[in-house]
Structure 1
Amino acid sequence: MAEPTSLSSAVPVAAGVGLAALLPGIDGNALIGAFAGATLFVVSAKSLPLWQRAVYLVVSVVAGYLAAPDIVRSLPVFSTGVAAFVASAVGITVTLALIEKSRSLDLGWLRRGGPPNA
């Protein structure tokens, strides 16, 4: 059986991203690259509920679009589309992993006023 995010719901979203890329002042390459990277993450995150994947899609597109210029300036990547794709696909994955790791950290020593072995 088809998943709720079928072709009928993906086409309007992709069309909206394509039309937004035509607006003046918008970097179309970065926007389409960020959307592609976010879509890759959302499609691969089958264990998450649909509403959570939709939120991650929006967050990932915004983060990828905003990170693209910095990546182009810092790394030997010349296309904002590729930079945004990598930032949106990898960024949300790394961030979620860091959030999971931080839940298991013992930060009680901050309240006590010093590191645990001091």
Structure 2
Amino acid sequence: MAEPTSLSSAATLAAGVGLAAVLPGIDGNALIGAFAGATLFVVSAKSLPLWQRLVYLLISVVAGYLAAPDIVRWMPIRSTGVAAFIAAAVGITVTLALIEKSRAFDLSWLRRGGPPNA
């Protein structure tokens, strides 16, 4: 069963996204698509604590919303909602994987002034 705190905060956040989507100058399709993609990521990341999932939700919504016009321009997708959904769901997953991979790189040669074995 879901925690009551997570249900109430998710409902509040969803209501806020719905209200923001009707504001002038806001692309409602992209905002709702980004929220749906971010929610998909948050729901699938059960191993993370609640506060961390909420932070990732906000980051994913913003990134998905901002990336939607570029995805529509570069790919054969015409809906900003679908583009924002893809960007929000995939963007944070790829970014977290890149951060984890970058921790394994040995970048100490940058401080010494040259590549290793040079």
Name the Cα RMSD after superposition: 1.1
Determine the structure 2 residue equivalent to 1:93.
93
CA distance in 2, matches of 1:12, 1:112: 51
Q: Which amino acid aligns with 1:113?
A: G
Using the aligned pairs only, state the percent identity: 84
User: C-alpha displacement at 1:84, in angstroms?
Assistant: 0.3
Determine the structure 1 residue equivalent to 2:113.
113
Structure 2 gap ranges (5+): none
User: C-alpha displacement at 1:110, in angstroms?
Assistant: 1.0
Determine the structure 2 residue equivalent to 1:56.
56
Is 1:5 the counterpart of 2:39 in the alignment?
Answer: no
CA distance in 1, matches of 2:36, 2:113: 46
Determine the structure 2 residue equivalent to 1:29.
29
Deviates more, 1:103-112 or 1:39-48: 103-112
Cα distance per residue 1:29-72 (max 9 Å; x no partner): 00000000000000000010100001000010000000000110
User: C-alpha displacement at 1:90, in angstroms?
Assistant: 0.3
When the two structures are aligned, how many residues end up with a matched partner? 117
User: C-alpha displacement at 1:16, in angstroms?
Assistant: 1.2
User: C-alpha displacement at 1:117, in angstroms?
Assistant: 2.8
CA distance in 2, matches of 1:22, 1:70: 22
1:40-55 equivalences under 5 Å are 40-55=40-55
**TM-score, with structure 1 as normaliser:** 0.94
User: C-alpha displacement at 1:15, in angstroms?
Assistant: 1.4
Q: Which amino acid aligns with 1:60?
A: S
Deviation >4 Å, runs of 4+:
none
Structure 1 gap ranges (5+): none
User: C-alpha displacement at 1:116, in angstroms?
Assistant: 1.4
CA distance in 2, matches of 1:63, 1:92: 8
CA distance in 2, matches of 1:38, 1:84: 9
Residue 6 of structure 2 aligns to a residue in which SS? coil
